[in-house]
Structure 1
C-alpha cells in the first residue's frame, strides 16, 4: 500500500492545476515538500496508514539480596550490678572469679614469695652461685603473680589483671623445674669421678631436660593465654586442653628425670661406702633430698591442675568455685619447692673447682658468662683432673682389697 502513496498524491496535484506539469507515475517517486502548497490540499483524499502493533515487553523484577554483616554479638546481659570491687556471682556472664577472692591471702603469699626472692638473691651473692638466677626467676614470677592478684581483688572486672595473674602463677614452675635439672647436672659433675650417669654427661643432661622443659613451657603459655579470663567459652576450653597437654608433658619429663636421679643416688651410695668423700662432699645427701622435695611438690601442683581442669568448669566440679584449693595445692607446694633451696642452698655444698662445670651450650644460656672457666680453650682445671684420677685409683684399690 505504501508504494502507491506517491502516485495518488501526484495525480491529485495534476488534476487541480494545469500549470503544474504532470508527474508521471513512477514506482518509488517521492514529491518534494516545497512543491505542494495549501491550495493543492484536498480534504476528500484519505490515506490509509496501517497501524503498527508493537508487542508488549515485560521486564522481570530484579531481586537485590539483603546485605548483612556477620559481626559477633554481645550475648552477655548482666542482671546484677558489680559491687565496689567489681564482684558478681558466678552465675553472671561477666564473672571473672567464681568465688570472692581474698585480698589478705594474696598479700600474704606475695610477701612470702617476695621473702624467698630476696633470700635467693642474697644467698647467690654470698656464695657466688650465679646460676641460681633461674630459681630466682621462679620466686619473682610467683611474687609478681600474687601482687597482681591482690590488685585484681579490688578490680574484679579487669580482664587484663585476671589474665596476667593467671599466666604468672601458671607458668612460674617452669623456672623451678629447670633449676632442679641444672642442680643435678652440677651434682653429677661435682660428686661422681666418672662424671656421667649412663650416657648422660652433665652438660648433655642439663641441655636436654632444660630444652624439653622449655618446650612444655611454650605449650603452657599458648594454652594459658587462650584460657584467659573473659575469653569465649569454646576458646577457653581449647586453651585448657592445650595447657593440660603442656603440664602433662612436663610431668612426663619429671618422671624420666626422677629415674636418672635414682641412678645417681645408687652410684653415690656405692662411692660413699668406699669412703672417698671428704669435706663438703659428705653432704651430698642433703642436696639430693632437697632435689627430691622440690620435684615432689612440683608434681603435687601439676596433679592438682590436671584434676582441676579435667573435671570441667561446671557446678559438679567444686575446685574452681573455692579459692582455698588454689592456695593449698598450687601456691603452698610452689612455696615449698622454691623454699627448700633456701634451706639447702646449692652454694653451701657445691664449692671449689669441681663445682664449676665446663663450658657448654646450656651453661652459656643459663649463666650469662658467670664462670671464669669459660675462657677460650679452657675446659678443666689440671688439679681437678689429677684429683679425679687419684679418686679412681683409690676406688679400684679398695674394691680389690
Structure 2
C-alpha cells in the first residue's frame, strides 16, 4: 500500500514528478549495478584489458545514478541531487556504446585476415565510432543539463529535451550504421576462420548484437518518454524506467560479465599493435590475426611474424 504521506510526491517544493518513487527499488538497482561494477573492474585486472575501464565506467555511472536517486528521494526539495541522478542515468548508456565499438574493432583485428572492414583498419574502425559516440555524448550532455535544474521555463526545458533527443537520435543512427558493419564482419569472420574456431568469437559477437539491441530499446523508450516533455504519464510511472532503461542496461552489463572480451581474446597479442609496431613492419603488412597461418608469400608471412615479435602492448582505444 502506498504511504499516506510521501515527501517526494506531496511536498510542494519537491523536484519529483507527481508520484512516490520507491526507495527499495532504488536500493536494489544501486546494489545490482555495484555488483556488476566490481565484476568488471576485477575482470579487467584479471584479463589485463585496459580498455574495459569503459564498460566499468558505465556501471559506475549507473551505480552513482541510483545512489543519488536514493539521496534525492530522501531530500526531494534539493535540485542538485535530483539533477545529478537525472543526468547520470540519461548518459550512462553511452559508455556501453563506446565499449561495444571498441570490442568489435578488436574482433576485426583478431578474427579476420585483412584486419579491416570496408577498407577501414580495425584500430581506425573502433576509434571512428568512439569519436562519433563522443559527439552524441556532448549533444546529450548539453540537452540533459539544459533540461534539468530549477527555475527554468517550460520553453527552456523543452528546448533542452529536444537537444537531448537529437543527441539520442544521433546515437541511434550511429548504432544502425555500426550494426550493418558488424554484419559484414560476421560474414568475413565466417569466411576467414575455420569452423572449429568460430564458437567463442561468435558467442561474443552475439553479445555485441544483444547489447546494441538493448541500447536501442532504451533509446526508443527515452524518445517516446520525452516526446511530450518531462511531465508525461510515462515519467509518472517509474516502472517503465526500471524495465526499459535500467534493466536493459543491467542485462547488457551482465552479458559482458558472463562473456567478457578478455576471456575470448586472450593474451597481450590479442591487443592492437602499437603505432611503433605497425611502423616497424610497414602499415600495409599488418594483417589480421586470422591471417597468421594463411598468408603464403614469404613477405607477408615474415611481416606477420615480425609484428608478433615486436608487439609489446596494444592500444586502449
How far apart are residue 125 of structure 1 and its match?
Answer: 1.0
The separation in 1 between residues aligned to 2:192 and 2:278, in whole angstroms, is: 33
Aligned match for 1:338, one of 253, 256, 261: 253
1:271 aligns with 192
CA RMSD in angstroms comes to 2.6
Aligned match for 2:132, one of 197, 201, 212: 212
Report SS of the residue matched to 1:187. Answer: helix
CA pair 388-243 structure 1, distance change in 2 beyond 3 A? same
1:323 aligns with 238
2:58 equivalent to 1:138: yes
The separation in 1 between residues aligned to 2:96 and 2:286, in whole angstroms, is: 33
How far apart are residue 88 of structure 1 and its match?
Answer: 2.3
Normalising by structure 2, report the TM-score: 0.84
1:352 aligns with 267
2:9 aligns with 87
Aligned positions, number: 290
The separation in 2 between residues aligned to 1:385 and 1:164, in whole angstroms, is: 43
The separation in 2 between residues aligned to 1:142 and 1:338, in whole angstroms, is: 10
CA pair 376-294 structure 1, distance change in 2 beyond 3 A? closer
Instruction: Assess if the C-alpha contact under 8 Å between 1:359 and 1:379 holds in 2.
Output: no
2:162 aligns with 241
Aligned positions of 1:89-108 closer than 5 A: 95-108=15-28
1:289 aligns with 206
Report SS of the residue matched to 2:274. Answer: coil
Normalising by structure 1, report the TM-score: 0.67
2:293 aligns with 390
How far apart are residue 392 of structure 1 and its match?
Answer: 3.6
CA pair 95-135 structure 1, distance change in 2 beyond 3 A? closer
Aligned match for 1:123, one of 30, 43, 46: 43
Report SS of the residue matched to 2:148. Answer: coil
How far apart are residue 347 of structure 1 and its match?
Answer: 0.7
CA pair 238-383 structure 1, distance change in 2 beyond 3 A? closer
How far apart are residue 354 of structure 1 and its match?
Answer: 4.0
CA pair 194-377 structure 1, distance change in 2 beyond 3 A? closer
What runs of 5+ residues in structure 1 fail to find an aligned partner? 1-82, 361-373, 395-401
The separation in 2 between residues aligned to 1:99 and 1:87, in whole angstroms, is: 5
2:219 equivalent to 1:302: yes
Report SS of the residue matched to 1:321. Answer: coil
Instruction: Note the alpha carbon deviations across 1:360-393, whole angstroms, 9 max, x for none.
Output: 6xxxxxxxxxxxxx6796579x998898353244
Instruction: Assess if the C-alpha contact under 8 Å between 2:27 and 2:66 holds in 1.
Output: yes
Report SS of the residue matched to 2:114. Answer: coil
Instruction: Assess if the C-alpha contact under 8 Å between 1:111 and 1:143 holds in 2.
Output: yes
CA pair 378-135 structure 1, distance change in 2 beyond 3 A? farther
1:171 aligns with 91
Structure number with greater CO (CA < 8 Å, separation at least 6) is 2
Report SS of the residue matched to 2:45. Answer: helix
The separation in 1 between residues aligned to 2:37 and 2:220, in whole angstroms, is: 25
Report SS of the residue matched to 1:391. Answer: coil
2:145 equivalent to 1:225: yes
